[in-house]
Amino acid sequence: MSDLREEVRAHYRDAAVQVLGGGSGSCCEPECCSGPEGSALYGIEERASLPDAAVLASLGCGNPTAVAELRAGETVLDLGSGGGIDVILSAKRVGPTGKALGLDMTDEMLDLARRNAAEAGTANVEFMKGYMEEVPLPDGSVDVVISNCVINLSVDKPKVFAEMHRVLRPGGRLGISDIVASDDLSPEERAERGSYAGCIAGALSFGEYDAELRRAGFDAIEVEPTHEVGDGIFGAIVRAARS
């Protein structure tokens, strides 16, 4: 497990260094960053309001800030916040009475995210170093948890779902974009279609995603495909609530 985590960390560290040097980061898999018009994409106006480096470092597979339907005054946590694009957009949506938190395990991504937030003039943000399996926040401290093509990278997904449930307040909710596999694909078949750091080998199936969320205590669960990124592999939006 530690080897897989270090593989993922190295992949996204290199992407951050590339953007910090003036280049463009690379997606999980190139196809994962494209999709149909709608909630799976960032709108033109959203992109125009962001620093170029935040857009270049967008390595996700959707737009969780739209999936979560964020409201003014809420506290939002972005797991695997990367270059900060979803934290910055969340901060704008929740307004000055709300707060957007970003969690990432990669120092270079955190440096990039803080620089992007400062350039965007976003004051109601905070970035933390840590693992999504061990979120450094107290119980019941956030209203919404979002994530963009990151849950599939975890080596202990049940722990991630348990942590999301723990940090959410009663009545809190999830708004996630992720890569999800068809129920008829075995883990070995998923691995044949792409790497772990490429967001494919570690993808849960639709049924597994639903089952793990229920096991963690969530209800009102929706796991819906948005676009196909490979044979039996889909970009998807995930919604759930904590009672």
CATH of the domain at 44: 3.40.50.150
Query: CA 98 to CA 79: how far, in whole Å?
Result: 17
Range of the domain at 186: 2-241
In this structure, the chain runs to a length of 243
- Burial label for 44, CB within 10 Å (0-12, 13-18, 19+), is exposed
pTM above 0.95, yes or no: no
Q: What is the pLDDT of residues 180-212, one digit of tens each?
A: 999 999 888 887 776 555 566 688 999 999 999
∠ CA 240-202-86, rounded to 5°: 50
How many domains does the chain divide into? 1
Query: CA 132 to CA 156: how far, in whole Å?
Result: 9
Mean pLDDT of the chain: 83
Q: What is the pLDDT of residues 96-119, one digit of tens each?
A: 999 999 999 999 889 989 999 999
Q: What is the pLDDT of residues 141-192, one digit of tens each?
A: 999 999 998 898 898 999 999 999 999 999 999 999 999 999 999 888 887 7
